[in-house]
C-alpha cells in the first residue's frame, strides 16, 4: 500500500479536504485505485453530536457512520463509498485502547500514549486502507490520508508521532507527505510572505516528518522568487512546490494540480511512474468550463435553521450545483433563516422579516433541508404553506418532509394544534412521533442511520419516474422522528399521497401532492449520494420543475429508446436510454435473443444476477453479470442503463 499524507500549517480552513480529494482525482486519472482516510483529532467519537454552526454538516455514510464533511468531498470527487472507519477520531482511538485495557489485552502493562495509542492509530490506518471502496475486488493502490487541524496543535501530537512511525515502517517509496500552507500578502507591502510556511515546515520537521511537496494556498499565483525562497528554506525541490491559488470553482483544483505536474512528483516519490498512465481529466475540464460559461441562473430559496454557516448544508449545496449544471443553469441560492419568516420577527426585526419574505416570493423553487429542534419551525411551516398554495416547486428533506405534513394537517385537515412530538410533547394531534427504537437518553449513534430501502407504492408517481421507475431505491437516513402511521389514512383522504414506504410498509419515506407542479417530501437525505455528472434525481426534479421543464423531461425520458444489439464475428453494442416502463420488456427481449443465439453459436456464454446487485433496478432482468462471445468479454456488477453500456 502507498500512502499520501496531507497535513496543514499556519491556519485552519485552508482547504486540505479539497486538496486531498483533488490529489485523489489526479491519481485516479492516472489509472490508480484510490481510497482515503480523514483523521480528526477531537475527542468526540464521531461528528454526530456536533453543532452544525461549529463543525459544519454531519455527513452520513451507507453504513450509518456520522462523519466529517470532508468525507463527503472524498465521495463526491472520487465517486467511492466510504465506511465510518475511514474517519478516525481521538475518541475512537482512546475508546478502542481503553476497551482492550479493560479486557486485559495488554497483560498488565502500563498503558501509555506511546506505544499503545500510536500503535492503535497505525493499526487502524493499515487495516482501513485495504478495504475496497470503489466496488471492485482487492485493495486500492494509494491511500490518501488527511490530518485535520494544523501542525503544532497539542491534540494532533499522537497522530503526528504515529504517522512518523508509519512512514518509517512502510519505507520512503511507499510514503509521500504533502504539506498545505498559507502564503499571505500584506496589504501595505503587497509581497508574498513565506515566513509562516517556513516556521510551519520547521515545526513539522522537528516532529520527525519532512514534506516531499508543498501545496501553497494564495489569492494569486506564486511568483518565481517566492518558489525559490520556499525551496531554499523548506528543503523542498522547486518542482515539488505546488500553488493552489483562488479559482472560480473547486473543479479547477485537479486541473491546477495536473498542470503543475503534481502527479509526476507524487508518482515519482511513490515509485509508481512505471505503472501509471498520463492523467485523463477531460471530464473534469469540461465540467469546470461548463460551469464557468453558464450565464442563466435559477433562484432557489433555502429555508433552514443553520443558514449562518453555509457548510452546515454543504452536501445540499453541492447537490443543487450538480442538478443545476445538468440543466445548464447556475444556482442562485437565497439563504433564508426560517425564524425571519415568523410573526415574532416582524415585530422585533421588521426589515429582516420583509427581506426574508421578499426572497421567498422571488424564488423559483423552495427547499427545506434537515435539522433538529424547534427554532425556526414556524417559519418553515410558513414556507411550505406558501409553496403549496402558490404552486412553487418544493422539496422537503427529513425535517422538511415532516414540516410539510404538519402544515397540511393544520391547513387542510383543520388540526390547528397538529405538531411533532419533537416540538410539543403534549400536542393533542401528533402527526410526527418519536420512533420506538430511538433513545431519549443517549444522543450519539441512536438515530435511524445509513442506507435504508424505500419501496415505491405507485410506479406513476413523480419520484419513481425521476429514479427511472425502479421498485425501490436505497438512500441514506438520519432521523429519530417519523410521520405518525395512525394519521396516514386521513392525510391521504385529504389529498396528500405517501408514495414511498419502508420495507415494513409502516414508515413513510416519500410524500407527494398530486396536481402540484412539484411538491415532494422525503424522509431520507438524497444529497449525500449526489455526484458531479450524476445528480440526485430529486434535486434534478426540483430544478427542472422550477423552469417548468419537468413534464417534458419525464415524457422524453420515457419515450427515448435507442437499442442496437448485434452479434457479429466478435463485436456487440448495446446503447440504451429508456424508462422502466419498457425496461422489463426490452431486457426480457434481450435475454430471449441471447438464449436463441446460444443454440446457434457455441462461443456465446452468459451468466446473470437474479436480482439487481447495484440496488437500483429490482425486477428488471437479466442483469448481465458476464457475457463472452468470440474474443470479447463483458463483466458487470449489474447494468445501470443510465450510466453503462456494453
> What pLDDT score was predicted for residue 592?
54
**Which residues are known to be catalytic?**
398, 525, 527
Using a 10 angstrom Cβ sphere, with 0-12 exposed, 13-18 middle and 19 or more buried, the burial of residue 504 is exposed
Task: Tell whether the model's pLDDT for residue 65 goes beyond 70.
Answer: yes
Q: E strand or H helix at 215, and its extent?
A: strand 213-218
Distance separating alpha carbons of residues 13 and 6, to the nearest angstrom = 13
Question: 355-394: buried (b, 16+ CB within 10 Å) or exposed (e) per residue?
Answer: ebbebbeebbbbbbbbbbeeebbbbbbbbbbbbbeeebbb
pLDDT band of residue 54 (cuts 50, 70, 90) is confident
Per-residue pLDDT averaged across 310-319, rounded?
93
Task: Tell whether the model's pLDDT for residue 335 goes beyond 90.
Answer: yes
Sign of CA pseudo-dihedral 385, 377, 412, 511: positive
Backbone angles phi, psi at 607, to 5 degrees: -135, 145
Task: Tell whether the model's pLDDT for residue 605 goes beyond 70.
Answer: no
> What pLDDT score was predicted for residue 483?
96
Phi-psi region of 580 (alpha: psi -120 to 50; beta: other; left: phi over 0): alpha
The domain segmentation of the chain, as residue ranges, is 2-288, 294-435+446-547, 550-578
pLDDT band of residue 444 (cuts 50, 70, 90) is low
Q: E strand or H helix at 325, and its extent?
A: helix 314-326
Distance separating alpha carbons of residues 189 and 161, to the nearest angstrom = 38
Least confident of 116-125, 324-333, 498-507, 590-599: 590-599
Strand order in the sheet with 605-609: 605-609, 623-629, 632-635
Distance separating alpha carbons of residues 117 and 442, to the nearest angstrom = 27
Per-residue pLDDT averaged across 196-202, rounded?
95
Architecture of the domain delimited by 294-435+446-547: 3-Layer(aba) Sandwich (3.40)
Q: Strands of 561-617 (E only): list them.
A: 605-609
Strand pairing category for 623-629 and 632-635: antiparallel
pLDDT band of residue 13 (cuts 50, 70, 90) is confident
pLDDT band of residue 340 (cuts 50, 70, 90) is very high
Sign of CA pseudo-dihedral 553, 557, 559, 562: positive
pLDDT digits (tens, 9 = 90+) for 394-404: 999 999 999 99
Mean per-residue pLDDT over the chain, rounded: 86
Q: Which CATH number fits domain 2-288: 3.40.50.880, 3.40.50.450, 3.20.20.70, 3.40.50.300?
A: 3.40.50.300
Cell of residue 46, nine digits = 464521531
> What pLDDT score was predicted for residue 548?
94
Higher pLDDT, 564 or 427: 427
> What pLDDT score was predicted for residue 51?
83
Using a 10 angstrom Cβ sphere, with 0-12 exposed, 13-18 middle and 19 or more buried, the burial of residue 308 is exposed
3-state secondary structure of 584: helix
pLDDT digits (tens, 9 = 90+) for 251-275: 999 999 999 999 999 999 999 999 9
What percent of the chain lies above the pLDDT cut of 70?
85
Higher pLDDT, 236 or 643: 236
> What pLDDT score was predicted for residue 445?
61
Task: Tell whether the model's pLDDT for residue 494 goes beyond 90.
Answer: yes
Q: Strands of 486-586 (E only): list them.
A: 497-501, 508-512, 519-522
> What pLDDT score was predicted for residue 20?
97
Q: E strand or H helix at 344, and its extent?
A: helix 343-348
> What pLDDT score was predicted for residue 567?
37
Strand pairing category for 632-635 and 448-456: unpaired
Higher pLDDT, 581 or 218: 218
**Fold match, 2-288 / 294-435+446-547:** yes
pLDDT digits (tens, 9 = 90+) for 466-476: 988 778 999 99
Amino acid at each position: 500500500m502507498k500512502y499520501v499524507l496531507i497535513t496543514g500549517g499556519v491556519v485552519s480552513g485552508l482547504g486540505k479536504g479539497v486538496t486531498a480529494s483533488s490529489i485523489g482525482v489526479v491519481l485516479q486519472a492516472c489509472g490508480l485505485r484510490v481510497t482515503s482516510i480523514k483523521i480528526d483529532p477531537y475527542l468526540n467519537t464521531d461528528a454526530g453530536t456536533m453543532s452544525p454552526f461549529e463543525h459544519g454538516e454531519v455527513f452520513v455514510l451507507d453504513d450509518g457512520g456520522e462523519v466529517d464533511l470532508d468525507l463527503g468531498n472524498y465521495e463526491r470527487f472520487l465517486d467511492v463509498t466510504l465506511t465510518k472507519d475511514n474517519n478516525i477520531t481521538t475518541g475512537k482511538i482512546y475508546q478502542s485502547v481503553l476497551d482492550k485495557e479493560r479486557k486485559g489485552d495488554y497483560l498488565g502493562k502500563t498503558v501509555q500514549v506511546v506505544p499503545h495509542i500510536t500503535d492503535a492509530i497505525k493499526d487502524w490506518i493499515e487495516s482501513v486502507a485495504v478495504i475496497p471502496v470503489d466496488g471492485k475486488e482487492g485493495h486500492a493502490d494509494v491511500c490518501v490520508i488527511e490530518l485535520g487541524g494544523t501542525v503544532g496543535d497539542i491534540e494532533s501530537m499522537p497522530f503526528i508521532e504515529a504517522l512518523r512511525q508509519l512512514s518509517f515502517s512502510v519505507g520512503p517509496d511507499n510514503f509521500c507527505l504533502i504539506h498545505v500552507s498559507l502564503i499571505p500578502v500584506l496589504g501595505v507591502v503587497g509581497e508574498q510572505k513565506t515566513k509562516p510556511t517556513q516556521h510551519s515546515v520547521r515545526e513539522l520537521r522537528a516532529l520527525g516528518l519532512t514534506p516531499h511537496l508543498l501545496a501553497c494556498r494564495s489569492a494569486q499565483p506564486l511568483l518565481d522568487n517566492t518558489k525559490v525562497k520556499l525551496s531554499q528554506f523548506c528543503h523542498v525541490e522547486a518542482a515539488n512546490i505546488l500553488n493552489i491559488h483562488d479559482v472560480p470553482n473547486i473543479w479547477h483544483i485537479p486541473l491546477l494540480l495536473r498542470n503543475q505536474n503534481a502527479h509526476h512528483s507524487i508518482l515519482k516519490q511513490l515509485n509508481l511512474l512505471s505503472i501509471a498512465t498520463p492523467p485523463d481529466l477531460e471530464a473534469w475540464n469540461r465540467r469546470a468550463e461548463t460551469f464557468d460559461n453558464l450565464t442563466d441562473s435559477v433562484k432557489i430559496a433555502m429555508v433552514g435553521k443553520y443558514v449562518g454557516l453555509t457548510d452546515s448544508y454543504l452536501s445540499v449545496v453541492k447537490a443543487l450545483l450538480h442538478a443545476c449544471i445538468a440543466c445548464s443553469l447556475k444556482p442562485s441560492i437565497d439563504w433564508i433563516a426560517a425564524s425571519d419568516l415568523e410573526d415574532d420577527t416582524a415585530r422585533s426585526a421588521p426589515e429582516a422579516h420583509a427581506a426574508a419574505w421578499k426572497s421567498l416570493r422571488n424564488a423559483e423553487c423552495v427547499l427545506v433541508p434537515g435539522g433538529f429542534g424547534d427554532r425556526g419551525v414556524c417559519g418553515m411551516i410558513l414556507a411550505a404553506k406558501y409553496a403549496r398554495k402558490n404552486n412553487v416547486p418544493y422539496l422537503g428533506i427529513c425535517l422538511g418532509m415532516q414540516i410539510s405534513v404538519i402544515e397540511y394537517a393544520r391547513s387542510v385537515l383543520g388540526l390547528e394544534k397538529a405538531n411533532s412530538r419533537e416540538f410539543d410533547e403534549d400536542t393533542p394531534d401528533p402527526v410526527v412521533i418519536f420512533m420506538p427504537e430511538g433513545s431519549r437518553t443517549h444522543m450519539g449513534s441512536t438515530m435511524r442511520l445509513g442506507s435504508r430501502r424505500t419501496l415505491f407504492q405507485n410506479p406513476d408517481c413523480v419520484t419513481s419516474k425521476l429514479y427511472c421507475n425502479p421498485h425501490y431505491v436505497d438512500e441514506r437516513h438520519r432521523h429519530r422522528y417519523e410521520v405518525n402511521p395512525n394519521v396516514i389514512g386521513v392525510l391521504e383522504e385529504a389529498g396528500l399521497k405517501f408514495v414511498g414506504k419502508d420495507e415494513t410498509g409502516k414508515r413513510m419515506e416519500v410524500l407527494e401532492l398530486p396536481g402540484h407542479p412539484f411538491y415532494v417530501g422525503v424522509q431520507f437525505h438524497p444529497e449525500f449520494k449526489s455526484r458531479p455528472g450524476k445528480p440526485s434525481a430529486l434535486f434534478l426534479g426540483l430544478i427542472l420543475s422550477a423552469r417548468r421543464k419537468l413534464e417534458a423531461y419525464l415524457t422524453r425520458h420515457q419515450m427515448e429508446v435507442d437499442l442496437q444489439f448485434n452479434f457479429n464475428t466478435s463485436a456487440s453494442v448495446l446503447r440504451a436510454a429508456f424508462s422502466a416502463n419498457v425496461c422489463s420488456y426490452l431486457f426480457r427481449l434481450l435475454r430471449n435473443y441471447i438464449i436463441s443465439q446460444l443454440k446457434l453459436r457455441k462461443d456465446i456464454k452468459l451468466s446473470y444476477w437474479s436480482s439487481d446487485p447495484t440496488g437500483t433496478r429490482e425486477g428488471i432482468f437479466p442483469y448481465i453479470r458476464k457475457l463472452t462471445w468470440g474474443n470479447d468479454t463483458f463483466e458487470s456488477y449489474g447494468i445501470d442503463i443510465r450510466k453503462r453500456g456494453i
